[in-house]
Amino acid sequence: MSFRIALFISCFMLTSCAQEEYSQCESPRSALKTMFKPKNDALVFSHSFCVVCSPSLEEHEYEDWALEMGAPQGPSDPAAVHPCLYVYTANNTDIDSLAQCTSLVCEGGAVYNDMVGKENGNFNLDPILTP
C-alpha cells in the first residue's frame, strides 16, 4: 500500500467520528437524545446523519416506540438494533446542523424511518446510549 493511500485512510478514519455532535431534548421529551453528523464534503456520496435515541428502552419496547414516533415499522430483530431511529425532514432535505436535528425531534416535524443497526459504522452512538 502506498504511503499516500495509507495517509488518506488514516485521515478519513480520524475525521469520520470527530464531527459528531450530541444533544438532549428538554422536558417533556427529555428521554430523547440526538446525534448529528454533518456531510463530509471530501466524500462524494456522503450525507449528513440525524439520529434520535431513547436509551432507557428495553428491547421488547423498541417496536412500540418506533411506531409511536411515526416510523413505518419496528425492527425485525430488536437484538440487532439500538434504541435509535434515523431522522429526516418532511420534505426530505438535508439536515445541516445539530440545532436543526434537535429541533425536529424535540419540537416536532421530524420524519422517522428505520432503527439504527448495531453494525452501523457511520457514526458513534456510545455518548448518548447511556440512560
Number of separate domains in the chain: 1
pLDDT of residue 43: 66
Global pTM value: 0.83
Tell me if 3 is assigned to some domain: no
Specify if 96 maps to a domain: yes
Domain presence at residue 73: yes
**What is the pLDDT tens value at each position of the chain, 131 positions in all?**
443 443 344 444 444 445 899 999 999 999 999 999 998 767 667 778 999 999 999 999 999 999 999 999 999 999 999 999 999 999 988 999 999 999 999 999 999 999 999 998 889 999 999 86
Its domain, for residue 67, covers 20-128
Residue 117 resides in a domain? yes
Residue 6 resides in a domain: no
CA–CA separation, 50 and 39 (whole Å): 11
Residue at 5 is within a domain = no
Buried b or exposed e, range 102-125, using 16+ CB within 10 angstroms: bbbbbeeebbbebbbeeeeeebeb
Whether residue 30 lies inside any domain: the answer is yes
